[in-house]
Amino acid sequence: MDQRDPGLAKLIDRVRHAQACGSPLQIRGGGTKEFYGGPRRGELLDISGLAGISSYEPTELVVTARAGTRLVELEAALEERGQCLAFEPPRFGSGGTVGGMVAAGLAGPARVSMGAVRDHVLGVTLLNGCGEVLTFGGQVAKNVAGYDVSRLMAGSLGVLGVICEASLKVLPVNRAATTLSFEWDEGRALEQLNVWRSLPLPLNASAWHDARLHVRLAGAAAAVAAACDRLGGIEVSADAAAAWWRGLRDQSEKFFSLTDTDLACGECLWRLSMPAAAAPVTLSGRQLIEWHGAQRWWRTTAQAHEVRAAAARGGGHATLFRGADKAAGVFTPVNGVLMRIHQGLKQAFDPAGVFNPGRLFADL
């Protein structure tokens, strides 16, 4: 990126000033994920002006966009050429940006088969805490020159630097997709997913909720048709299936909507990231399982330590995705050695500690 770009030059000035004064900045794209992560502190650093697709070459399977580019705009451009972001990032509103998507590192139903945001990040241009513009990675899929700093940005919640531009791997949209549904309880559904996972099936996504398992098969038409015959179940109409997966992806499905009353009553939405074959998790409340068992959403009034203990028993970790009281921390704390590395990296990228303090961990 050209540092003389007026939008970028302004950001550089703001960051240098913040560094000099030691005053925190909260980085903001479209502001659609303000509910996520720890408390927001400091002056707003709005990157939405840094917008636009810088380059898109369908035959290279790569798109480069400036951080403030709206995700819906990027996806529309890809769709025109029969391509997509295969990890289905959630859109919590139409204002969500590319930078916010990378920084949050959240992915949708297809993540289990297609990989996460980080798996599709090829390169990032970022602004560090000293106001320097740095580029890591690039626009090619295979690149091992230096440490993989660009992928470290995915899910970093802006604590290391301001993402200015990102290059992302894109993929052709699936030629065919069919959704099947099965009336199964949790135990049966998880058991069956464990069997299917190890078979050569075009399994793209799955979701279990309310005694019903949905499975999306996607890929070559012949492969999808053959898998449908093999798996059985009831085929869901294309429209209903699209609405169901979109509802999960964007969390517009009613399971995810916590009203102010729910929140006031202490109900929280927890995201449990579990080893896929982990046994059912027992908590009070309601559950929705995605990623063949690797992501288990809970709506519960249970205490944070109970939820974290339940996740830990199965070898996983729990994130307070939505909730009124975040005193117990949003993310599961990491151990001493990992925290020292986190602090060392923070020092490396943002020595004055200006970017999003406390958004990831209280002492970072």
Closer to another protein at the Cβ: 21 or 341? 341
For the bound state, the minimum distance from the C-beta of residue 148 to another protein, rounded and expressed in Å, comes to 5
- Cβ neighbours around 314 below 10 Å, total: 18
Q: Which amino acid is at 207?
A: A
Query: Using CA atoms, how far apart are residues 77 and 281, in angstroms rounded to an integer?
Result: 41
Query: Using CA atoms, how far apart are residues 109 and 204, in angstroms rounded to an integer?
Result: 8
Question: What token pair was written down for 242?
Answer: 């699209």
Question: What token pair was written down for 121?
Answer: 């990040």
Closer to another protein at the Cβ: 211 or 222? 222
Q: Measured in whole angstroms, how far is the alpha carbon of residue 287 from the centre of its chain?
A: 19
Taken as a whole, the chain contains a residue count of: 364
Query: Using CA atoms, how far apart are residues 300 and 305, in angstroms rounded to an integer?
Result: 12
Closer to another protein at the Cβ: 48 or 128? 128
For the bound state, the minimum distance from the C-beta of residue 261 to another protein, rounded and expressed in Å, comes to 29
For the bound state, the minimum distance from the C-beta of residue 265 to another protein, rounded and expressed in Å, comes to 27
Closer to another protein at the Cβ: 251 or 295? 295
With CA atoms as reference, report the closest residue to 123 among 91, 100, 148: 148
Closer to another protein at the Cβ: 61 or 72? 61
Closer to another protein at the Cβ: 122 or 236? 122
For the bound state, the minimum distance from the C-beta of residue 160 to another protein, rounded and expressed in Å, comes to 8
Closer to another protein at the Cβ: 140 or 240? 140
Question: What token pair was written down for 186?
Answer: 């949790």
For the bound state, the minimum distance from the C-beta of residue 360 to another protein, rounded and expressed in Å, comes to 7
For residue 270, which phi and psi values (nearest 5 degrees)? -110, 145
Query: Using CA atoms, how far apart are residues 326 and 363, in angstroms rounded to an integer?
Result: 15
For the bound state, the minimum distance from the C-beta of residue 352 to another protein, rounded and expressed in Å, comes to 14
Task: With residue 337 as reference, give the H or E element that holds it.
Answer: helix 336-349
Query: Using CA atoms, how far apart are residues 45 and 7, in angstroms rounded to an integer?
Result: 12
Query: Using CA atoms, how far apart are residues 296 and 208, in angstroms rounded to an integer?
Result: 9
3-state secondary structure of 295: strand
Closer to another protein at the Cβ: 48 or 150? 150
For the bound state, the minimum distance from the C-beta of residue 353 to another protein, rounded and expressed in Å, comes to 15
Query: Using CA atoms, how far apart are residues 136 and 41, in angstroms rounded to an integer?
Result: 28
Residue pair 272/307 in contact (Cβ under 8 Å)? The answer is: yes
For the bound state, the minimum distance from the C-beta of residue 138 to another protein, rounded and expressed in Å, comes to 5
Closer to another protein at the Cβ: 90 or 105? 105
Residue matched to tokens 């320097």 = 132
Query: Using CA atoms, how far apart are residues 89 and 94, in angstroms rounded to an integer?
Result: 12
Question: What token pair was written down for 61?
Answer: 């399977």
For the bound state, the minimum distance from the C-beta of residue 127 to another protein, rounded and expressed in Å, comes to 11
Residue matched to tokens 């972001």 = 85
